[in-house]
Every structure is written in structure tokens, then in C-alpha cells.
Structure 1
Amino acid sequence: MHSAVLLIEFGAIILCLGLLGRAAARLRFSPIPLYLLAGLAFGEGGLLPLGASEEFVATGAEIGVILLLLMLGLEYTASDLVSNLKAHYPSGLVDCTLNALPGAAAALLLGWGPVAAVVLAGVTWISSSGVIAKVLGDLGRVGNRETPVILSILVLEDLAMAVYLPIVTALVAGVGLAAGSVTLAIALGAAGLVLFVAVRYGRVISRFVSSDDPEKLLLVVLGLTILVAGIAQQLQVSAAVGAFLVGIALSGEVAEGAHTLLSPLRDLFAAIFFVFFGLHTDPASIPPVLLPALALAFVTALTKIATGYWAARRAGISVGGRWRAGGALVARGEFSIVIAGLAVTAGIEPSLGPLATAYVLILVVLGPLTARYTQPLAERLTARFGLPERRGPAGQPEGREPEQPEAEGEARQQTAVGD
């Protein structure tokens, strides 16, 4: 009987997610807020609370986080990460400073303590690679001059996760300074070792994993990833970091083949992860934190716009491209939820989960709007207040980018970000 109830509940969840995903696709919108709302509806205090399938959903959520980070790692090679780190680290530092500090300050002002401050700093810092990549594609901006700047910031944020997640994991676990230092040293050592091995022996690893049979390739990559993620978690590093490093180590045709095979699984289990996060958030707990979430969303939307503007200006992009870069970076999503989920699971602060849920819901809706309208709004304000319009090197108004030939636009795609 228990098995039948589990199948009914889990089947209903998957069907509901499929219908929500279809609705989001028709609206050309990210499905993440709909998945979070579904979790709120199925969770304790929601419309249809689950019982039998919650433990199964929890396991699926863990796999979802692992696959999210694996797929992210597959998008980058070790040489990409090293070159981006060398060329754009000042932009990464500005990004961290402007966007992590508001979250930390908000947690301290709310009286949540230093551990919650570190967690909320990560929630407000990391942009959503998936949402931003989809928005850039929908707006036809993949070949724009500012797009490599946007992607470089996202790469640096993803690379920073390999250091940040072990720190958060150690903090929420309540380990001491010595144990936390050991955990961080292990994480840094593992990341450095994987990058070194990937640069020197990436082809050897890829040949070992490679297979012409899609079934065998899927089993080997998935099994290797979950094994490494489990070992990483046993070492108190983070299963997500382990999966990310496995993705980096794979390259070439193996990475492309694994990406194609694992994309449907990633989408399925990532959706389950968002539902699971919503399950642990009582809808009644959101209204009390809605005003702080709105204030934090407003402040960090402005700081992300400032980050993109500064980074694009540093890269020599014209004024219009600077505003577009800033507006595109506003969306938060999957990684903010991953970070908040660590604290929620550890029971750090009861209000942190509801605040993170409301915050992500706001910015995942606002992000596509800022990507589309930041530049036109800035141009209108400039014209209204009579500010002079600067001219670009070709005599074009700097507020507008000249059209890019298709071939040139494709050549500018230095780094790919997952959909």
C-alpha cells in the first residue's frame, strides 16, 4: 500500500512539473519560480501535503544538485577557467564585494548571526547561469560584444563556488576552526589537482570515459560523478563541488556527448530539487519576510547592474552594452537555492529559507525584465535629464551597438553557459 501511495504521489509531482514547464515555455519564462511554488503547494502547510514520497524526493533533490554542478563543469575546460581567472578577476572581485555584502549585512541586521550572514551573502552573490543563458538566447544577444563579459563573470562565480561551498558546508556543520581549515585546504587542494590533471591529462581521462555506445557513456559518467560526489561529501567538502570538478576534468567529444545524454536527467532532477526546497518552506512563513526580501532584491538588482556596467566598461564596451550587461546579470536562481538549502537542512535559521525563496522568486521574475529594459530606460533617463550622448569609435552613439555579422557573433562566443 505504501508503495502504491509513493508511486501516486511521485507521479503526480512529475506530471505537475511537466505541465508547469510547458506553461513556462509557452510564456517564454523560466520555470524555476513555478517549481518553487509547486513545492510550497505540496509541502507542510500547503494545499496538498505529501507524506509517503518525501524521502524519495529528498534523494532525487540531492541527485539534482549533483547533476546541476556536473553539467556546469562540462561547459568549461580547465584552460577556460584559468584564462578567465587571469583576465577578469578584478570584475569577479567587484562582483563579490557589491553583491555579497548586502546579503551579509541584511542577515546581521535581522539578528541571524555570522553563519547565516555568510550563507545569505552567497544567496545574493551568485547569479543564475541557466536563466541568464536562456534570456540571452531569447533576446538574440549571444553574439553581442558585451556577452563575453557576462559569461566571464558567470564563470568566475562558478569557479568561486568550489571554494565557497566547502566553507559554508563546514560552517553549517558547526565544525571548529581547525576542522574548517582542513576542509577548506582539502577543497582547494582537490580543485587545484583536478585543474592540473585536466590541463595536462584531460585527453587521457576523456579517452578512458569515452564510448561510442550512449548507454555505456551515460552509465560511466553518471556513476563516476555520483561516486566522486559521495567521496567529496564524506570528506566534508561538498558533493556539488565534487560533481563540478568531474565536469571540468571531461572535455571534447566526451563532454559534448555527456551533456546531450544528461540534459534530460538534469532537468528532471533539478526540478525535483526546487520542489524539495519548497517542501521545506511553510507558505505562512513567507509574508513576514516579504518586505526584507523585496528590499534585498531591489538593492542587489542595482548592485548587479553596477557590476555588469563596470565590467563592460573595463572591457571597452560602449554605454549601451554596459547597461545590457548589467541588466542581464540580475537573475538569481538555482545556486542561490542550493546555498540556502545547506542552511535549511542544517537548521541554521528558520526564516532564512522563506527569505531565500521569496528573494529568488522576485529576482527570477525581475531578471528577464531588467535584461530587456535596462538599456532603454537608461537612455530615456539620459535624454530626459539632458546628459550628452557619447560617441563610439565608429561615430555610432555609444548607447547603441552596431549590428554584428553572424559569423563574427559566433566567433565571440568564448564560453558556453548551460541552458
Structure 2
Amino acid sequence: MHSNLIIEIGIAVLLVALVGLLANRLKFSVIPFFIVIGMVLGNESYPDFVGDLLVKIGNEGVTNSVNSVWSFLTFTESKPFIDFMGRLGVLFLLFYLGLEFSVGRLIKSGKSIVAGGSIYVVLNFMSGLLVGWMMNLPFKEMMVLCGIMTSSSTAIVAKVLTDLKRTANRETEVIMGMIMFDDLFIAMHISFLSGLILTGSSSFWTVAGTSLLALGFILSFLILGRKLVPFIDRLLQEKSSELFILIIFSLLFTIAGFSETIHVAEAIGALMAGLVFADSRYIKKIEGMVLPFKDFFGAMFFFSFGLSIDMYSLGGAVGWATFAAAITVVCNVASGYFASRFSGLKPKNSVDIGFTLSARGEFSIIMANIGKAGKLLPVIQSFVVVYVLILSIVSPLLTKESRNIWNKLAGQDDVSRKPKKKLSDLEASVQEN
């Protein structure tokens, strides 16, 4: 029954690695590549042009060979296992984010980042309400859409800033502060969606009770969980690598699993676990051990998401997703303008901030999956695929060209360009002295 399981998984990982190499060669985000390769191969029937070609050839042996090869590429037997690896990818992505996240850093960042982050959240959330209203979506679908359009991609933003060598720029601190603020809001929104969607109840009090339970769960980890860090450090002290990682992973999966039992998304449990371990004195060792798992299972998460999508059903969502992507860029540039003013940066930094924050990825997909688990309208899945693909491609390109775009819109910054001194000018100044 499972004779093809291992080879299918091997082929899946190989394909993900190959498209990852292609993305790196093109110096581009790997996320859209992982999603697209999953969509192309996730259909049980191969593309129409392949079928037409086989009909023209008219050779039964060739047709049987193509069918045999395609059966491997549709991952019929391994799909459930790949889906499970995708779930692990969500846990490791959120756990690692929790390790990098710090409420203390957010507070120290100052009112400027809190104010800029608040404007960012409000503008993007309101744009989600606008698009949801124009699409005539029910309330639950609209709330998922608002979350999808509000959540920036930490993974893409970090990669773009690193690739463009902008990590030391002044606006980068503002960008990362706004990302932290947005992640905090998204954690709260996911807890709200858990109460609204995952409980399967339409009662206001049931939804409110579950949402409050999720909020209490988060606050408990922020307040009480950190007090357990000294105990955890003693537990991890002088342990072998094998025992060290077993302890970390057992706590991660237990916390995530417990959160799921109380109708709080398991991703939130993983995030809370990361927040607790962020204060451990072994944080560097934990990050080093978790990073390879985050990268591997994170890649499989995007690939498994692509496998779950029928690319032939995306046509109806292209127009709305393109419209939403354009609104997202405009709202993010506007929030970047206010963040620049609050932080004392130059107006030209508003496009740097806005274009960078426009990237959408892992969190949008996580919230779309919550909608799928709650059996909401399929249009949400189609929408998020096109929306994420557009912004995960366009945002890095806009960020790369942000300085040129600003110069064309507002004119060249003469202050930054000092006139070059000629040798004759230097000689004249020496003679005068």
C-alpha cells in the first residue's frame, strides 16, 4: 500500500530543493517558487497540453509511461504525510519567530514605532474590510480576509533586507519594530479567529468565551511562562545535544497540542512557547538547533499549501487579489510615511518602509488555513494564493527599486549628491592657504 511513499517524499524534497536553488540563483524569495511548484504538481490530471500531445502521439506505451511518471509527481500516497510536515512547518516557523520576538524590545523601540505600527494595522485592516465588503463576503470570511491583508511576511522582509544589505539602515529598525507590532496584533487576531471559526459555534457568548480563553492563554504565557525559565534552564543544563533537543521539542509540541485542545490555534501555542524560551540563557543554542528544522519544514509548509490548491480554479480570484494587492501597497506606503515622520526619518524612507512591509507570506497562509479548517468559502483559498504570489514577487522588486522610484516621483535628492572637486580646485585652495 505504501510502496511509493518514500520515493514520493524524496521526489518532493528534491523538487523543493531545485526550485529553491533556482530562486537563489535569481536572487529572489523562495516562497512563491515553493507554492507554484506545489500547485503545478498537485493536480491528479496533468495539464491539457500534455494530454493533447499524447493524443497526437497515439502511442499506448508512451501514454502509460507518462501516467506512471505523473503518478509520482501528484504525490497520491504521500500527500497526508506532506501535509503533516506542513503542519510541523507552521509550528517551527512560529516557534522561531517567538524566539526572535521580544516584548521588551517593542517597548524600548519607543512610541514612534508603536504609533507607526498602529497606523499600519488600522490601514491594512480597514482595507480588508473594504475588499471583503466589495466581494460581499460573510462576516467570518471577512475577518479572515482582514487578517490575510494585515499580516506582513517576516521571512520575506528579513531576507530582502539582508540581500539588499540594508540591515544597518535607520529605517530598518523602524521596519522591524513595525513587524513586531504587527506580529503581536496577528497573534491576537488568530486567537479571535480560533474562537470565531474553530469552535464551530455561531453563539456570540461561545465565540466571546473562546476568544477570552485564547487571550488568557496568551497572557498566561507572557506573565507566568517566563517565571518558569530558570527551571527550564536547570533542566537543560549540561545535557547532551540529543536530550537538549528532545526536551525543547517535547515542550513545543505539548504546548501547541494543548492550545489546540482548547480551540486556540496550535500556531499560537508554538509562538507562546518561543516567547518563553526567548528569555533562556541557552537561547543561542536553541536557535541553532531549531533553525534547520524551521527551514526544512517551513519549505514543506509552502509546498504542501501549493499541493492543496487547484490552479485551474484561481481565475475568479485574480481580479480581486490584484486589486487587494494594489491597495495593500498604497496603504503600506502611507503607513511608512507616518512612521517616517514619527521616527524623524526623511520622507523618502516612507517608500523603503512601505514597499518592504508589503510582502505577504506565511501568516496570510496560516489564517487562510484556519478558514479552510472551519469550512469557509473556497474563494478565501483562491484569493490568498494569488494575493500572496503577487506581493511575494512584487514587494521585493519594489523594495529593490525604492530609491529610484522615489527619485522619479519626487526628484533627485540634491543634498545627497555633493559636487565632485577637481584637482585644479584642490590646488587652488592649497595656494590660497
TM-score scaled by length of structure 1? 0.87
2:357 paired residue number: 329
Instruction: Report whether the alignment pairs 1:219 with 2:246.
Output: yes
1:108-157, Cα deviation, whole Å (9 max, x unpaired) = 22222111110011111111111111111111111111111101111011
Deviates more, 1:209-218 or 1:130-139: 209-218
- The SS at the match of 1:165 is helix
Q: Report the CA distance between 1:71 and its aligned residue.
A: 0.3
Quickly say closer, same or farther: Cα 1:7–1:343, change in 2 above 3 A. same
- The SS at the match of 1:3 is coil
1:143 partner letter: A
Q: 2: CA distance between counterparts of 1:259 and 1:271?
A: 18
1:91 paired residue number: 116
Q: 2: CA distance between counterparts of 1:77 and 1:179?
A: 32
2:394 paired residue number: 366
Matches within 5 A, 1:346-385: 346-383=374-411
Whether contact under 8 Å (2:195, 2:263) holds in the other structure is yes
Instruction: Report whether the alignment pairs 1:51 with 2:76.
Output: yes
1:133 partner letter: A
1:361 partner letter: L
Which runs of at least 4 in structure 1 moved beyond 6 Å after TM superposition? none
Whether contact under 8 Å (1:115, 1:171) holds in the other structure is yes
Quickly say closer, same or farther: Cα 1:242–1:83, change in 2 above 3 A. farther
Structure 1 vs Structure 2 CA RMSD: 2.1
2:15 partner letter: C
Instruction: Report whether the alignment pairs 1:13 with 2:40.
Output: no
Q: How many residues of Structure 1 are paired with residues of Structure 2 in the alignment?
A: 389
1:115 paired residue number: 140
1:329-388, Cα deviation, whole Å (9 max, x unpaired) = 11111111111111123220111111100110000001111112223212222129xxxx
Whether contact under 8 Å (2:192, 2:214) holds in the other structure is no
Whether contact under 8 Å (2:112, 2:342) holds in the other structure is no
Whether contact under 8 Å (2:112, 2:339) holds in the other structure is no
Q: 1: CA distance between counterparts of 2:136 and 2:380?
A: 11
Deviates more, 1:239-248 or 1:90-99: 90-99
Equivalent of 1:295 in 304, 323, 326: 323
Whether contact under 8 Å (2:115, 2:342) holds in the other structure is no
Q: 1: CA distance between counterparts of 2:175 and 2:347?
A: 15
2:82 partner letter: V
1:268 paired residue number: 296
Q: 1: CA distance between counterparts of 2:109 and 2:85?
A: 33
TM-score scaled by length of structure 2? 0.84
Q: Report the CA distance between 1:45 and its aligned residue.
A: 5.2
Quickly say closer, same or farther: Cα 1:286–1:212, change in 2 above 3 A. same
Deviates more, 1:321-330 or 1:110-119: 321-330
Deviates more, 1:102-111 or 1:350-359: 102-111
2:175 partner letter: I
Q: 2: CA distance between counterparts of 1:44 and 1:94?
A: 41
Matches within 5 A, 1:8-407: 8-44=7-43, 47=46, 48-84=73-109, 88-173=113-198, 174-175=200-201, 176-197=203-224, 200=227, 202-250=229-277, 251-383=279-411, 396=415
Whether contact under 8 Å (1:329, 1:371) holds in the other structure is no
Q: 2: CA distance between counterparts of 1:144 and 1:289?
A: 37
1:254 partner letter: Y
- The SS at the match of 2:3 is helix
Q: Report the CA distance between 1:91 and its aligned residue.
A: 2.0
Q: 2: CA distance between counterparts of 1:7 and 1:368?
A: 36
2:253 partner letter: I
Deviates more, 1:112-121 or 1:39-48: 39-48
1:22 partner letter: L
Q: 1: CA distance between counterparts of 2:150 and 2:186?
A: 11
Whether contact under 8 Å (1:166, 1:187) holds in the other structure is yes
Q: 1: CA distance between counterparts of 2:276 and 2:45?
A: 42
Deviates more, 1:228-237 or 1:84-93: 84-93
Q: 2: CA distance between counterparts of 1:211 and 1:111?
A: 58
Q: 2: CA distance between counterparts of 1:294 and 1:375?
A: 24
- The SS at the match of 2:2 is helix
Q: 2: CA distance between counterparts of 1:46 and 1:144?
A: 49
1:404 paired residue number: none
Deviates more, 1:184-193 or 1:353-362: 184-193
Quickly say closer, same or farther: Cα 1:86–1:310, change in 2 above 3 A. closer
- The SS at the match of 2:348 is helix
Deviates more, 1:329-338 or 1:201-210: 201-210
- The SS at the match of 1:92 is helix
Q: Which runs of 5+ in 2 are unaligned?
A: 47-72, 419-433
Q: 2: CA distance between counterparts of 1:231 and 1:205?
A: 19
Quickly say closer, same or farther: Cα 1:87–1:218, change in 2 above 3 A. farther
Q: Report the CA distance between 1:194 and its aligned residue.
A: 1.6
Whether contact under 8 Å (1:84, 1:156) holds in the other structure is no
Quickly say closer, same or farther: Cα 1:233–1:87, change in 2 above 3 A. farther
1:415 paired residue number: none
Whether contact under 8 Å (2:42, 2:74) holds in the other structure is yes
Q: Report the CA distance between 1:46 and its aligned residue.
A: 5.9
Percentage of matched positions with identical amino acids: 29
Deviates more, 1:59-68 or 1:86-95: 86-95
Quickly say closer, same or farther: Cα 1:245–1:210, change in 2 above 3 A. farther
1:16 partner letter: L
Quickly say closer, same or farther: Cα 1:89–1:334, change in 2 above 3 A. same
Q: 2: CA distance between counterparts of 1:209 and 1:325?
A: 40
Quickly say closer, same or farther: Cα 1:216–1:78, change in 2 above 3 A. farther
2:322 partner letter: L
